Structure 1
Amino acid sequence: MNRFENNRQPKVLLLYASYGEGHLQVARAIKSALEERGNDRTVMIDLMAESHPWLNEMTRRFYLKSYTHMPSLYGWMYDFTRPMKHNSLFGGLLHSFGRDKIRRILEAERPDAVVHTFPFFALPGLKRRTRLMPPSYAVITDFDLHRRWVHPSIDRYYVATKDLKKELTQLGIPGGSVKVSGIPLKRGFRQTKATPELYNRYGLRADRPVVLIMAGAQGVMPDVNRICEGLLQNPNVQIALVCGHNDQMKQQVEHRFRQLYGGSRLHVFGFVEQIHELMALSGCLITKPGGVTLSEAIAAGLPIFVYRPVPGQERQNALYLESKGAAIIANDPDELSMQILSLIGDPLRLTASRLCTRRLQASNAAADSIALDILSNLRIMDKASIL
């Protein structure tokens, strides 16, 4: 019997993790794209939080602390584990987390496909132990390949670039199992245009260049005050500073610059849900180099400046984009300010920088491409099963 007869949509299980915002955002983007195709049977689960809540909270805090206060330690751990194999002692341990939970989820939900936006591959490890085994898909959320993402039981990979596809095939993954999709984003990054109404909404002027500073979801970018001071030396520049969930940073910056400049050219925001609107108004972006944020900037066609990328996947992301001419890395706030002011004051350089960024844009919206590919594959598999 055809499981999808009478237009019954397949059930898709989306597994993510809450180490940063990116993995959750990618899962939400895919869910939204599936829903737009009439699929309302998508289930999202934070596997580590559901299966090991205490351990999840502890490791999340360690991740944030080591990332912000001990970046060298985090970078060492990333580099040390980068070449590990799925069947190594440590790799096997990491992929074992959530195994009992995912078995119970399979029995309860009976999904037709499972999509991972974080490399906890407890499900593939169950393939020899259960017959309730739907196809597994992995969406790699960075421009760098950590071997933790590589598992022989993943049926299909979705990656940001052709270079990542080449790396996977060199590691033995069949080329037909890797699709260059881009990193999934929510709607709006290419469609949104700068309009007078949009400028008014954010209190910005259309006749001055806007420098967008994104301090990260937790607001952890260092030297924000010095960066703003350097940029504001140019009387024509206005800044949109997004502090994420860091209310303390937001209050401190607002207080400091209200006294110095009256706040007319520095606009400070907390977490901005519709960040594509601010990107549409901006001439360039200063950011932490998370895979999703970089992909958002690429989709918006923004020149990217990365300030002091920490060791690990973010530094690798930054180095990759720098090699493509799509990002500039700075480690000193004065150097960063000079680079930005030089760029936005030179129309030819600004246009060339935007072109380098646009060369990295995926040809189709990544979330749409992934959703369509998954649904098409499931229907092909279902037809083959009844022949």
Structure 2
Amino acid sequence: MTITLPRPDGGTSPYTPRTAPADLTADGTPLLSRTVLAAAHVVADPYADATPDGPAAVDWDATLAFRRHLWAHGLGVAEAMDTAQRGMGLDWAGARELIRRSAAEARAVGGHVACGVGTDQLTAPGASPHLGLADVRAAYEEQLAVVEDAGAQAVLMASRALAAVAKGPDDYLEVYEALLRQASEPVVLHWLGPMFDPALEGYWSGGDGLDAATEAFLQVVAAHPDKVDGVKVSLLDAGREVALRRRLPDGVRCYTGDDFHYPELIAGDERGFSHALLGVFDPLAPLAARAVRILDTGDTAGFRAVLDPTVELARHLFAAPTRFYKTGVVFLAWLAGHQDHFTMVGGLQSARSLPHLARAYELADRLGLFPDPALAETRMRNLLAVYGADR
């Protein structure tokens, strides 16, 4: 039986969904050759009387269940980062509760969790509009304390507030060096490009270009290499990531955040490789885990054979405007049966078009990402009906 899917040109095309489920059995044995974290989404409470600019209403049971799914496949969880809609529906109060709950769950099941440290309390309603570097540093310190008190690894995320007040690389160096001196354990430094958040344009350099930003970023790492577990680079520029990776101090890892080129970057070359901290591994967790286990045996070709076919879906989900990739991620979680609804905090389920979602469904189904293809098809048909497109 076929399903009629809408196309971006306004037409439709038939698609025949798969009927046999793929083998997505979880194997919680540790991944050996790479450290792999999936940046996880949050599940909204669909019955909450919430508004787009109000506090996030989170379904905590479903949110934590999804993290257990990621841990069961052997992946780590990157918590309270942009995939969890930090600054796009999830405020600091919600993120703080998410960090505490997720870290506690990680301890209970023996999972790895790393949590985002930012400054988003500075953009909360009622926050002072007159900010300086001291305010940014204090906000970072508050969040760093929460993450460390929860027993999680810290990921120092890029800060919209710092981007707004920093005049040049020296200001970034001042803030980050202070944080690294205080961190009790090595952290991950996160460089998030403006395609993910336009407010981060010019980060690290104050607007002097990517080459200057790269030098400033590496200067921060070089100042305290013992306090930097690794760097997470989300620029969607594989060549720049490789060049940066080759200049890192010994013992400092590169975690790719490139959702367009991750197979080649994780596979690496004769001079090194990237680990992974990726939002696209939220929907791709079973295949990502399978691929890395193959890589653990030294079979790079087998690794690429599993992961390369997923890139078309990844590039579709992260197509411009890239920051709305979260909508596709949550949509696929709903189709896969990880949650009972397609609702997002902040109402972000409306951020992608019906043709975009239909293409995501088709590509994911072709990959065998749905444990129950019939359920995914039924939910896709229900969505088409809601849009009046079930003809």
Instruction: Report which of the two structures shows the higher radius of gyration computed on alpha carbons.
Output: 1
TM-score by length of 2: 0.29
TM-score by length of 1: 0.30
- RCO greater where, 1 or 2, for CA within 8 Å and sep 6 or more? 2
